[in-house]
Amino acid sequence: MRNDDRIPGRLIAVEGLDGSGKSTQIHLVHQWLQGLGLRVFFSEWNSSELVKEATRKGKKRQLLTPTTFSLIHATDFADRYERQILPMLKGGYIVLCDRYMFTAFARDAVRGCDGAWLRNLYGYARRPDITFYFGLPLEVSLGRILDGRPSLKFFEAGMDLALSPDITESFRIFQGRVMAQYEAMTDEFGFTRIDATRQIHDQQEVVRDFVAERIDLARFHLRARP
């Protein structure tokens, strides 16, 4: 996972539990950078058109094992990475990723996949210049999801792990384990922790300050040469 410094682009990823508010935050960053007139590109986890159908089918029929679940997401990532993320980075864009390889490291490890195997699987991909981790107490994230959207999906709730026959209970246990994985990765990958219990606007301010401090934004102006 060595980064090539000749690549002019910069990569920002957000990670965190469902209900941590990370998608809202990266959306606001996107708006901000666009408003500044910068070259910016947004990519979302599990969104490659080619792989979508297979993923949908596998999930619907509950056909996936921990290994194929992991591989199908790795395929989706490779497709997006090689066709969009990497070319954009080479072309001098700021690339924003709503979830990156760390989502796979956390979820797949909970499903029993080996950490070294997972790190190899994504080993070719560039590490983000900034990874924001939106941390919050488990109960708060659970509350946000369970209050707002009562219908949980099978794999999202970790039902394949047979943690509990009750889907809500399964979701609680699964999310708790995913969180433990994230916490354990914080130092390994140098996550920048954001307190996700704060007001959305306040979090965004911290995020923007950090981005502006770490990345020379003027270099990414549409009028500037990459």
Quick one: 78 or 206, whose CB is closer to other proteins? Answer: 78
Cβ 105 to other proteins shortest distance, Å: 15
Record the tokens describing residue 148, joined without a space: 């707002």
User: Nearer Cβ to other proteins, position 55 or 204?
Assistant: 55
**22/111 with CB nearer other proteins:** 111
DSSP secondary structure of the chain: ----TT---EEEEEEE-TTS-HHHHHHHHHHHHHHTTB-EEEEETT--HHHHHHHHHHHHTT---HHHHHHHHHHHHHHHIIIIIHHHHHTT-EEEEES-HHHHHHHHHHTT--HHHHHHHTTTSPPPSEEEEEE--HHHHHHHHHHH-----TTTTTGGGTS-SSHHHHHHHHHHHHHHHHHHHTTTTT-EEEETTS-HHHHHHHHHHHHHHHS-GGGGBTTS--
Q: Smallest distance, Å, CB 111 to other proteins? A: 6
CB of 107 to other proteins, least distance (A): 13
Chain residues that interact with other proteins, rule: CB under 8 A? 50-51, 53-54, 57-58, 63-68, 71-72, 74-75, 78-79, 82-83, 111-114, 116-117, 120-121, 123-124
Between residues 114 and 166, which has the closer beta carbon with respect to other proteins?
Answer: 114
Q: Name the minimum Å distance from CB 80 to other proteins.
A: 9
Please, what is the minimum distance in Å from the beta carbon of residue 56 to other proteins?
Answer: 10
Quick one: 75 or 164, whose CB is closer to other proteins?
A: 75
